[in-house]
């Protein structure tokens, strides 16, 4: 049984742990550590199967195989240098800190030069096993990548990409739940304001959004052509679409993604 340590048990770290542990047949022993004791205690209490680590120095004692770093980017370097004082050669470091490259992580390991480093970017939907998790590496073995991929497939889908695409990936997957939820909020707020009960509004609009995306992704028709086909002349849809087009809705979304990509790119 492989032993995996998640360092950083905030929202994203806890979501991943929940996703991994939801499958009782995962054959993974999961440990958690957070420098903020209250955050760690809360995660241990609320996530069944998550075992605590009292201190980073216990990595050797607990025979941890894989270490997932979910801290703030600024904390990655001191954390890695701290771990480099231990005997962890041959272990795998998986870092999901924004804009921290494989090389950034690798350079912190002077004594343990044989650590494997994997860069990853999940999203918040891991807790419901609907995450998109991207992975990239330069020195991890095929066997290691297979295990890591299978582990995070417990949280959703996994995509192996080149590291130079991580900025864009972060925008379209890691950041996009915020933008999509903003869209969902606007629609549900409108429905509730017009007299719908919240639960009914959520149910209707959730199904409309999911169904529309599935329909579009499976269609052989160009997406703008689909929009034009839905917008029947003199109908209701085209009146709303005119507003979106006049306000450059697609450009606004792309500007948001560009800003997010820029921030996530190093």
Q: Which domains does the chain have, with CATH numbers?
A: 2-161 (3.40.50.720), 169-264 (1.10.3730.10)
pLDDT exceeds 90 at position 22: no
CB 36: neighbour CB atoms within 10 A?
A: 11
pLDDT exceeds 90 at position 26: no
> 8: annotated binding-site residue?
yes
Q: Name the band, by pLDDT with cuts 50, 70 and 90, for residue 49.
A: very high
- The per-residue pLDDT for 57 is 93
- The per-residue pLDDT for 127 is 84
Question: What are the helix (H) ranges across 31-175?
Answer: 37-46, 58-61, 73-83, 102-106, 142-152, 166-169
The single-letter DSSP state of residue 163 is G
Model confidence, pTM: 0.89
Q: How far is it, in rounded angstroms, from Cα 143 to Cα 141?
A: 5
> 70: annotated binding-site residue?
no
CB 170: neighbour CB atoms within 10 A?
A: 22
pLDDT exceeds 90 at position 89: yes
pLDDT exceeds 80 at position 23: no
> 9: annotated binding-site residue?
yes
> 12: annotated binding-site residue?
yes
Percentage with pLDDT > 70 across the chain:
100
Q: Kindly report which listed range (19-23, 85-89, 184-188, 259-263) carries the lowest average pLDDT score.
A: 19-23
> 195: annotated binding-site residue?
no
| Phi, psi (rounded to 5 degrees) for 171 | -65, -50
* Exposure b/e, 104-120, CB count within 10 A at least 16 = b: bbbebbeebeebbbbbb
Q: Name the band, by pLDDT with cuts 50, 70 and 90, for residue 111.
A: very high
pLDDT exceeds 90 at position 131: yes
The single-letter DSSP state of residue 153 is G
Percentage with pLDDT > 90 across the chain:
94
Q: Name the band, by pLDDT with cuts 50, 70 and 90, for residue 25.
A: confident
Q: What are the pLDDT digits (tens) for 154-209?
A: 999 999 999 999 999 999 999 999 999 999 999 999 999 999 999 999 999 999 99
- The per-residue pLDDT for 27 is 83
Q: How far is it, in rounded angstroms, from Cα 112 to Cα 204?
A: 54
Q: Name the band, by pLDDT with cuts 50, 70 and 90, for residue 2.
A: very high
> 49: annotated binding-site residue?
no
Cα-Cα-Cα-Cα torsion 258, 259, 262, 265, nearest 10 degrees, comes to -90
Q: Name the band, by pLDDT with cuts 50, 70 and 90, for residue 137.
A: very high
- The per-residue pLDDT for 93 is 98
Which of the pair, 27 or 108, is modelled with greater confidence?
108
Q: What are the pLDDT digits (tens) for 222-252?
A: 999 999 999 999 999 999 999 999 999 999 9
Q: Name the band, by pLDDT with cuts 50, 70 and 90, for residue 121.
A: very high
């Amino acid at each position: 049984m492989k032993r995996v340590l998640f360092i950083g048990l905030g929202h994203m770290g806890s979501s991943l742990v929940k996703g991994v542990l939801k499958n009782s047949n995962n054959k993974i022993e999961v440990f958690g550590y957070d420098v903020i004791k209250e955050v760690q205690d809360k995660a241990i209490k609320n996530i069944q199967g998550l075992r605590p680590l009292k201190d980073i120095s216990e990595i050797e004692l607990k025979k941890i195989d894989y270490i997932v770093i979910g801290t703030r980017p600024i904390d990655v370097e001191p954390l890695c240098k701290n771990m480099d004082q231990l005997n962890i050669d041959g272990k795998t470091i998986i870092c999901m800190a924004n804009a921290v490259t494989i090389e950034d992580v690798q350079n912190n390991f002077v004594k343990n030069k044989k650590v494997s480093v994997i860069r990853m970017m999940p999203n918040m939907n891991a807790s419901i096993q609907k995450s998109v998790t991207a992975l990239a590496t330069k020195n991890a073995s095929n066997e290691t990548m297979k295990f890591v991929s299978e582990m995070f497939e417990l949280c959703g889908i996994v995509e192996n990409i080149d590291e130079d695409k991580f900025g864009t990936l972060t925008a379209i997957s890691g950041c996009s739940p915020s933008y999509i939820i903003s869209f969902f909020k606007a629609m549900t707020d409108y429905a509730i304001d017009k007299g719908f009960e919240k639960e009914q509004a959520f149910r209707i609009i959730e199904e409309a959004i999911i169904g529309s995306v599935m329909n579009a992704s499976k269609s052989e028709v160009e997406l703008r052509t689909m929009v034009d086909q839905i917008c029947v002349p003199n109908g209701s849809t085209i009146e709303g679409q005119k507003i979106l087009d006049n306000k450059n809705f697609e450009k606004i979304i792309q500007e948001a993604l560009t800003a997010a990509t820029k921030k996530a790119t190093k």
